[in-house]
Copies of this chain bind each other. A is one copy, B any other.
Amino acid sequence: MNDVFAHIAANQERYVKRLQALLQQPSVAAQNLGIQETAAHVVGLLEALGAQVQLIPTAGQPVVVGVIKGKTDKTLSFYNHYDVQPAEPLELWESDPWGGAIRDGRLYARGAADNKGDLVARINAVESYLAVHEALPCTLKFIVEGEEEVGSPHLEAFAEHHADLIHADGCIWEFGSKDLQNRPLVTLGLKGICYVELRLSCARSDLHSSWAAVVPNAAWRLTWALSTLKDPDERVRIAGFYDEVERPNAEDLEALEALGFDERGHKEQFGIENYVNALSDTPLLEKLYFEPTCTLCGFDSGYTGEGAKTVSPHEARAKLDFRLVPDQDPGRVVELLRKHLDLHGFVDVELSVLAAERAGRTPLDAPLGRVVMDTAKDIYDVSPVLVPIAPGSGPIYALCQRFGIPGVSTGCAYSGSQVHAPNENIRLKDFERGTQHIAAIVERFAQT
């Protein structure tokens, strides 16, 4: 590997410029901004690698698939996305979110960490590998979608129609960060998600609040409806919601123990005195990694400006996400939620589903996980950490789990990467190491 690593080091300046060029191309799926141009840009990068590239249309944004045959048919795929979060609020950025400025060894841009940095690190790793070796030791596939940041609404249908094309013996998932102690995180799956909007309309228009004595108020009704969903003890009260939830087994608990989760450090980071229910130790980690959630992401009704306005709101809207554990079906969660609202007298609350993904988990002892961990140990100064399942979500069920493809996540971000926030950035050192790591994974994977 040393000659590959030397090639990566020698070409790092050019590799960073390649990333900057991709970052300078905005690609916000939520705003339909620059998506086609960025897909074409990615096609160009993969073709330059010598990949067989297809730009495959979906009912939404196209998926770029690039295949590079190696010495064997054994196949490793890379799942990435070329779309990014909106850059707003723009005024909080210290440099242009589409600029890719470098300061203090960090590269700042929307998408630097999530997820263009990882995509380019993977491309760079393949280029350096091929510069030193006559061929790849196994076949590689790049699967780069354009709607991850809006919930990958068309990826499941895409995967179903192109099952042969995306088939692989393992998949390196899109992201990876470091924990507060700077240890690289290797993650074996993701929670699912069910994101819904609740809407309520009680009258024709907002009324002077003197009428609220007798006219139904949408803000109250939605408050009451929501308060039936989850209690202050954080227990979700929707009947049947926990039916498929399994407690972590002995190996899972061991994995949680091994996380070395920095409770105090995260408290400081979040500015909180206590976690919910004053949880600590294993119960805290069990809740974070192995329990489903019901989270109020937004609530909006009536007058929300400064000062007083005596108004009785006729409309109210809330956004809720449920993070789901394996075996929970988002469709069933929506059914249970609808039933719950009806049973509690809130038939007038309208429910619409904005995103739905099932969880996917890769076994703790999966060989691919070991490959990623072992190679990380060789490259990073500190030992990597194996995360049994990410508390976040992604289309891992649609792309991997349902086809029996093990998925493992690793990447170039760190705990200060400000993912989804202003001043998103990666450290250039992590970008180089992440590139090395991918090259090492490819070689080791081919040998297993």
Residues of A within 8 A of B (CB): 30, 150-151, 191, 193, 195, 197, 202-205, 207-217, 219-221, 223-224, 226-227, 230-232, 269-272, 274-276, 279, 284, 287-288, 291, 293, 295-304, 307-313, 316-317, 319, 321, 323, 345, 354-355, 390-393, 419-421
Contact = CB atoms under 8 A, between A and B. Distances in A.
Contact of A392 (B150, B208, B272, B293): B208
A211 B297 contact: no
The complex is assembled from copies of this chain, and their number is 2
Given A150-B308, A214-B288, A301 B301 contact: no
Contacts of A223: 223, 226-227, 296, 299
Nearest to A390: B210
A230 B390 CA distance: 39
Nearest to A295: B212
A383 B227 CA distance: 48
A309 B316 contact: no
B210 A391 contact: yes
B319 A355 contact: no
Given A210-B323, A223-B226, A203 B298 contact: no
A209 B288 CA distance: 11
Contacts of A419: 208
A310 B319 CA distance: 9
A209 B323 CA distance: 9
Contacts of A226: 223, 227
A337 to B, nearest CB: 16
A413 to B, nearest CB: 12
A297 B317 contact: no
A302 B293 contact: no
Q: Count chain B CB atoms within 10 A of each CB in A202, A231, A293 and give the residue with the most.
A: A293
Contact of A309 (B303, B309, B319): B319
Nearest to A311: B297
A104 to B, nearest CB: 22
A292 to B, nearest CB: 8
A278 B313 CA distance: 19
A448 B343 CA distance: 61
A411 to B, nearest CB: 15
18 contacts: A30-B307, A150-B308, A151-B308, A203-B270, A205-B271, A209-B297, A210-B393, A219-B297, A297-B313, A298-B302, A298-B309, A299-B304, A300-B300, A300-B301, A300-B304, A308-B319, A308-B321, A310-B393
A304 B317 contact: yes
Contact of A214 (B150, B216, B287, B345): B287
Contacts of A230: 220
Given A297-B310, A299-B223, A216 B391 contact: no
Given A223-B227, A297-B311, 8 more contacts: A203-B270, A203-B272, A204-B272, A210-B393, A223-B226, A297-B302, A297-B309, A303-B319
B213 A288 contact: yes
Contact of A299 (B276, B295, B300): B300
Q: Count chain B CB atoms within 10 A of each CB in A205, A209, A323 and give the residue with the most.
A: A209
Nearest to A151: B308
Q: Count chain B CB atoms within 10 A of each CB in A197, A220, A274 and give the residue with the most.
A: A220
A293 B312 CA distance: 11
A216 B279 CA distance: 11
A207 B296 CA distance: 12
A308 B355 contact: yes
A312 B297 contact: yes
A399 to B, nearest CB: 19
A31 to B, nearest CB: 10
Nearest to A195: B308
